[in-house]
Structure formats: structure tokens, C-alpha cells
Structure 1
Amino acid sequence: MMKNYSFLPLGVLALGLLLSGCAGESTSDTSTEGAEDSTQISFIHWRGEDKAVLDDIITQFEDKNPDISVEMTIYPSEQYQATGQRLLQDGSTGDVFTSFPGAQFEAIASAGLFEDLNGEDFVSNFDEELISVGQKDEAQLALPYQLVFNMPVYNKGMFDELGLEVPKSWTEFQAVADTLLENGITPIAFPGADIGPNQFMNSMMMNNAPDEDVFEKLQNGEESLTNEWWVKTLEDFQLLEEKGYIQADSLGTSQDSAMAMVANEEAAMLATGSYHMSALLDLNPDLELDLMAPITVEESEAVYEGINTATFMLAVNSQSEKKEQAKEFITFLSQPEIASHYANETGQHLTVNDVEYESEVLQNTAYWIDERKTRFQPRFLITNAQIEAAVLSSIENVLGGADPMTAAEEAQQLVDENRE
């Protein structure tokens, strides 16, 4: 029997998430009155949930660098992906900026807006094995700051109480989900309204298509979404919906509502990633959390156990007139003590060397860095934004009731129309 839990009203949880989230553009200028003669640099990104700790770090930076002040502007992530390149073009905004890997990185690189950071001393502050995603044509254009695991967060304490083990196959996954349903628990909270399948698709297809070049081949015409690897992925999503393994009206469920389901222990898993673990614990400190990717094949066929992404890629705007000051700020962010402060306050693993993880959730999940077989997030290997949209829409169409092969055929037609 499950123990009795103390549940918070969904409205209270949702309000807390809304207040702490990135609901709209936000600007911070921590410079003081004594800094009139300082050079002000612009720092833009999308991590609204990091505002408080970054305000603190900026204050520390300005104390040590009184000739430089930092204005931080935070945009909602979808807006940032859509408009980030335009913001950078005249050099007046984003002296220091962040980039997503994948389509946004490729677009900004093609526009020539990244300053090459090769030869800068601060590059050695980062783990060289984790920064290759920021390289192009032998140039180090960006430095990923965060190491994220883009796979479901699960309630380990709930699993332990029900005697459930992490499933190692698709058959075992379904058995675990059935047990959760029998106990009145939704297996997976899926935030389809705002995050959609952007994160969950990665672990759902990682073993259906273990070839890490599969999306490159899709873009050059060697692969098709109508082939077995993608049709099976869509069929697996269809199974989740038809069996009730994800909540009703999943496409209409916001991130805040999905997180509230997990915080209230109404759902066992959140189909996002490690970046939400700290926020979940803020909502319910009694949760015991870990990470778990669904294995959609039989155990003997599984190649990967999870997904990793080096993201929140720090960069200097090539159009900036304040490049040296921008580089000083990145140097400061990559100091181990500053990076450790950021990591522990935000619940993020980082790519910076010698970071000390003090928070329990980071210590308990650090084994995913070295001990588990993970692959880089497949979605970020789709470098054409239109093709990425076609892939994601095929999942949404299936969750909305479409036949998997029909959805695959419609998406492949869009791929063919947008292939370069």
C-alpha cells in the first residue's frame, strides 16, 4: 500500500510555477550608481528560472570588475529560438549570448555572428569532451555551460514503495506503467501544450534508431520518416496515449500543470529532463527523484540508457564592440567557484572543470555522467528548423489521433520539400 501523501492544491502549485518561471521578457541591470563610467555589456538568454542566481553572480562580477556592468535580458525560450539571431545582428544586443545546439547554432554560425573563441584562456576551464557541440569548421564558436539529461524525471520513492524497478525493456516499461495505473497514478505527465515532444522524443527513439547519424541522413535523403525506426517511434507514442500511460488531453497540458501532477504525486514521471528536478523539489521537498529513459526495445537490443545534452552555450557576438569585456564575463562564469554556485543554486550539472556539487539531487544523479551509456540529444542533430518542426508535428499528430504511418508520410513530404 502507498503511504498517505500530503497534497497541495494544483492552483497553489501552478501559481508558484508561474511566478518562478519565464513567462515573458525580463531585464536585470545590477549596476550601481558608482558605475557611470563603466562599459555596459548586454547578456541575453532564455533561462528565466536562473534569474536570481545570475543576478547574484553579476553583482559579484561587477564588484571585481568595476569598469564593466552587465545588463541581463531574459526571453521565453520559444521566443529566443525564433528571434535570437535577429537580436544579435547589429551588435547592440547580446555582447554575451547563449545558443541552443542544433538548428539555432547552425543558423547563427551561418550568419557569422559567433566570435571564434579558439585560443582564449578560459576555454581550458571547460571539459574538452563536452564542448565539441560548440565547434564548427575547427572553430570554437560557443561553450556549452550546462550538461542536461533530457529524459524523464521519476519519483524513485514511489517506485520503491510499490516495489517497482527501473524497466530495462519495452515489455517491462508497460508492466510498470500498468502497475502505476492500478494504483491510481498516471505513469507519465506530458506537457504537450508548451514543451510538446521536444524532450521526450529523444529517449523514445534513441534505441529505435541507434544510428547517431540518422537525422543527418534524413536531411540528405538517405533516410525516411516512413522507415521502420520512425514509424515504430510513432506507434510507441500511440501506445502511450491509447493505454492511458500519459494523461488525458496531454497536448493541452502546460509545463506548470504537468510539474504540479508530479509534485502532488499524481503522476510518477515528468517527460522533460533533469533541468526540472530542482523546481520539483522546491514544490515538494519530500520527493526522492532520479532519471529514467523508457527503453522501447527488448533488453538485448538496447544500446543506450539515456540522453545527454551540452547546452546553454555561451558565446560572444562577433558584431559586438565590447568583445574583450564580454570575454571577461565568460571567464568569470567559468571559474570553478562561480560555476559551483550556479550549479548548486539551479540544480544543473555543468561542463566546467572542478565543479563541486553540494545539492543532494546533483550528487545522486552524477552517476549518469560517467557510469551510464547516454547519447547526445538526437533532436539537436536536426539542423534544419523546418525539418525539425515536421518531425515533432508527426508525434503531435499521432497523440491527436492520427495513424502513425499517415503521420510519417505527411511529415516526410515536408522533409522532402525543405531538404537543402
Structure 2
Amino acid sequence: MNRKLLMMLTAVVLMIVLAGCGANDKNGNNSSEAGTGDENVTLRVLSTNPLVSEESMQLFMDQNPNIKVTYEYVPSSDYSAKFAALAASNAIPDVIWTQAGYYTDQIKQNLLLDLSEELNGQNYEGDAVWSETFVPALLENSRGTVKKALGERDSYDYGVPFTMTTIAVLYDKSVYEQLGLEEPTSWEQFMSNNEALKAAGYTPLSMHNNWIDWYPRLFWDQYCRADLESNPNAFDEGAMTFSSECVQQGLTSFKELWDKGYLPENGITADLETMQQMFVQGKLAQFLIAPDKLEYIMNNAPDNMSLATYALPGIAGIPSRSLGGSSNVFAVSASSEHPEEAVQLLKFLTSKTHFTGIEALKYSNSGLVNLEVEPELAQFLAGFTNAAAGGFSPDILVPTNITTEINTAFKTDLLPRYLMGRIDANELGEQLQAMYEQAK
């Protein structure tokens, strides 16, 4: 009897030990990582960022063999409609790309998983706290966007920034040399260069439909910065509106670029690929661009091009700040049936393993601490580095990005009509203000 009892107790203990060996902590971390059980897990991923590619997914699956990833890429111009359709049918993928107004809308609708506990856990490699692997300003920028749009909350971590987005001007040094131009250090010199490039037969500056709002947003950061820093709630309180002088000044300066012929005639309707082709064909002289969109140009530029980058000077003469920061965010759906595995994928996307394992990522600014970059590449990317050094303009400094509806209307309707002269700056401001008041 005692022998049978001993055998039973031994079996129970053995079962407990085996179960403990395969358990995950609340962050999905221990010797048995997420998705390494007997059953395979399938994650669905939706992205508009081409740097997160099929190649990325394959590397992740190679390292996590019990997790299968079904990946779907959509152009950023189609994201809003695609996500809305998925949400309406309760079919939001486990891991999604998101940005600015989309992101805060999704948090408000309780569609995203709170990641605050996971960020305090281990990173993908297991050698650091996950939150401490990001450049501090990048994570602060991501959290600040949520706080600005949604107010005080228990958590501001519903997604993680993927790359530290900065924007700079890409140009061909051989064209500058032929025309006797130098990298501009002031707005006046920048405009003088544009005039010389136009006179030489080039389209001086890039613009395309999805980034059509970049110039006014950069100008608002210059013209409106002091007022909004002294009163960050100026728009909420009505002390500032879209009809305020500094906002109107930014719109007027943008139209000046258009009226002078410095922007491409097809810029209102053209997409990113069209601008990239114009540049490598030598028709477009300067490209306001983010580093994660450089790969096509680097792979297709002719041998006689000598490429370099510089930070865009401030139009109002104060230190310039870059757009970007945490512009690209990846999040986990709150309805995911596999949240631990989905978090594991987020950790991978924002890991040194990913950024050193995928060739296309070498042009990106990872936003990770202590990631080494080749000296020659660092010199080429200096414009992006210098742009980031000045800090980042908040995504919703002037709140055209505060909701998906306002963002879409501004970029696809109001700005195109304004540039074409169908509405003036006052009318544009009034229509934006009406939408903003309704959204508050």
C-alpha cells in the first residue's frame, strides 16, 4: 500500500515539474518561449511598412518554428479602408501596423492590447528590459501622442515604435557641384537653391499624395511652436484655431512652394513610387524622404549619382525639428487569440536580431540603443541623424492627425483643393475647425 502511494505521489510531482518547465510568465518569457509547445500557432499580420516584409516573417518563423505567420501588405493609402473593413467583420489581425490618428482611434475603441507589463519584461534576445532598448525620446514621443489625444490614462503603451522616423532631403551631389550649390543652412539659401534647380530644368522638390501634409506640418512646428509650448492645450481651449495667424502662415508658405513651381505638377496625385522613379531618372533634384523609403533609390540610382542627405532648415529661423519619431507603430489586437505569441513577434520586430538580419533594414534608423552602423553608411545618413538631433515635432502639434477622418480629409481633399486654388487658406481653416470641433 505504501509503495503504491509513493508511486502515485512521484507521478504527481513529475507532472507538476513538467508543467512548470513549459510555463510562460506574464511576459511570455522563459526557457520555453511563446509558441514552442506541441501545437502550432498561426498569427496574422497587416502592415503598410515595406521594411516589415515576407523576409522578416521568414526569419522570425525560422527562429520560432512553432509560430506560423500569415503576412499581408497594403499600401498606406489603402490602410484606412482595409482596417475599417477588418474591424467591421471582427477580423482584425493579431499584429497590425498603425500610425498617429489611426493609433489613437484604435486605442479609444479598445481595439489594441495594453503592452505596459510586457515592456517592463525582457526583450527578444533576453538580455535587457524591452522598454530600455529604445532610444528614450522615441518611446516618449509614442506615449506623448497618446496622452495628447486621449488625456490622462493608466497606460500609454498600446503599441511599440518601429524605427525612429526622421525626414531629410536627399540630393545628388554631382548636380549641386555642376550648379555651384552647397547644402543650405538657412531657409533663404534653401529657396535660392530651389530657384537655381528650377532654372536648370529640374523639379526642385518632391511631393506625393500620401506625404502631401509634410510641408505644412513642418512649417507649423516653426510658426506655432512658441505659442503651443506656452499653452499645449491651446486648441482644446479654443485659444488657437485653424484660422489662427501661425496656422494660416504655414498654409501660405506651403502654397508658395507650389506657386513658384518648386513642387512637381503631378505631386497631388502621384504616389511614392512615381517620385522615386523621377529621382533616379534625374528629373527630381531633391527628395524629402524618410530613411525607410531609400532602398528603391539606392538599388536603382545610376552609377553617376553621388547621393547625400541634409536636414531641412527651419523656415522661421529657429532650430528645426523633424517629423516622425514614432510615426510607425506596431500593435497587438485586443481580440488576438494568441497574445503571447503576438507580443513575441513585436519583440522580434524591434530587436537587434531583426535589424541586423534583414539587408533592407540597413538604411533605416532603428531607434534602438547600441546598434552599430557602418561608418560610410552613417555618413550618408547624416542628414537624418542631424534632423533627429533637433528633436521631433509632436504628430498632433496642430491636430490634423488627431482622428482618421480629419487626417484623410486634410490630405486627400482640403490640401489638394487649396493648392489648386479652389479654396483659400481661410476656407481650409474653417472646414478643418468644424471637423475638429465635432471630433472633440
2:223 matched to 1:208?
Answer: yes
Alignment check: 8 A CA contact 2:206 2:264 kept: yes
Q: Runs of at least 4 residues of structure 1 off by over 6 A?
A: none
Corresponding residue for 2:72? 73
Alignment check: 8 A CA contact 2:161 2:330 kept: yes
Corresponding residue for 2:431? 411
Larger deviation, residues 353-362 vs 142-151: 353-362
Alignment check: 8 A CA contact 1:347 1:359 kept: no
Corresponding residue for 2:112? 114
Corresponding residue for 1:313? 329
Instruction: Please state how far the C-alpha of 1:107 moved relative to its aligned partner.
Output: 0.8
Pick from 158, 175, 198: which aligns with 1:181? 198
Corresponding residue for 1:338? 354
TM-score calculated relative to the size of structure 1: 0.78
Higher Cα Rg: structure 1 or 2? 2
| CA displacement 1:118-151 (0-9 Å, x = unmatched) | 2322323333331234435242211101111235
Alignment check: 8 A CA contact 2:321 2:393 kept: no
Corresponding residue for 2:286? 269
Paired letter, 2:404: A
Secondary structure, aligned partner of 1:187 = strand
Alignment check: 8 A CA contact 2:206 2:287 kept: yes
Q: Distance in 2 between matches of 1:85 and 1:252?
A: 23
Alignment check: 8 A CA contact 2:307 2:380 kept: no
2:315 matched to 1:296?
Answer: yes
Paired letter, 2:234: K
Secondary structure, aligned partner of 1:154 = strand
Secondary structure, aligned partner of 1:310 = coil
Instruction: Please state how far the C-alpha of 1:209 moved relative to its aligned partner.
Output: 1.8
Secondary structure, aligned partner of 1:327 = helix
Instruction: Please state how far the C-alpha of 1:322 moved relative to its aligned partner.
Output: 0.5
Paired letter, 2:268: L
CA separation of 1:38/1:405 partners in 2, compared to 1, >3 Å: closer, same or farther? closer
Pick from 209, 230, 242: which aligns with 1:225? 242
Q: Distance in 2 between matches of 1:284 and 1:165?
A: 21
Alignment check: 8 A CA contact 1:153 1:292 kept: no
Q: Distance in 1 between matches of 2:41 and 2:310?
A: 43
Which structure has more strand as a fraction of its residues? 1
Corresponding residue for 2:160? 143
Instruction: State the percentage of identical aligned residues.
Output: 18
Corresponding residue for 2:188? 171
Secondary structure, aligned partner of 2:51 = helix
Secondary structure, aligned partner of 1:376 = coil
Alignment check: 8 A CA contact 2:176 2:182 kept: yes
Q: Distance in 2 between matches of 1:126 and 1:85?
A: 30
TM-score calculated relative to the size of structure 2: 0.75
CA separation of 1:407/1:187 partners in 2, compared to 1, >3 Å: closer, same or farther? farther
Q: Distance in 1 between matches of 2:380 and 2:289?
A: 18
Paired letter, 1:38: N
Secondary structure, aligned partner of 1:355 = coil
Secondary structure, aligned partner of 2:223 = coil
Please provide the CA RMSD for this pair. Answer: 3.1
Secondary structure, aligned partner of 1:153 = strand
Corresponding residue for 1:55? 54
Paired letter, 1:50: L
Structure 1: state its 5+ residue gaps: 1-34
Instruction: Please state how far the C-alpha of 1:43 moved relative to its aligned partner.
Output: 1.4
CA separation of 1:162/1:256 partners in 2, compared to 1, >3 Å: closer, same or farther? same
Instruction: Please state how far the C-alpha of 1:166 moved relative to its aligned partner.
Output: 3.0
Alignment check: 8 A CA contact 1:85 1:108 kept: no
2:135 matched to 1:127?
Answer: yes
CA separation of 1:410/1:249 partners in 2, compared to 1, >3 Å: closer, same or farther? farther
CA separation of 1:152/1:200 partners in 2, compared to 1, >3 Å: closer, same or farther? farther
- Map 1:238-277 onto structure 2 (within 5 A): 238-277=255-294
Instruction: Please state how far the C-alpha of 1:96 moved relative to its aligned partner.
Output: 1.7
Q: Distance in 1 between matches of 2:168 and 2:96?
A: 26
Secondary structure, aligned partner of 2:205 = strand
Q: Distance in 2 between matches of 1:157 and 1:414?
A: 48
CA separation of 1:251/1:55 partners in 2, compared to 1, >3 Å: closer, same or farther? closer
Alignment check: 8 A CA contact 1:62 1:68 kept: yes
Question: What is the total number of aligned residue pairs between the two structures?
Answer: 377
Pick from 31, 34, 39: which aligns with 2:41? 39
Q: Distance in 2 between matches of 1:320 and 1:411?
A: 38
Paired letter, 1:384: T
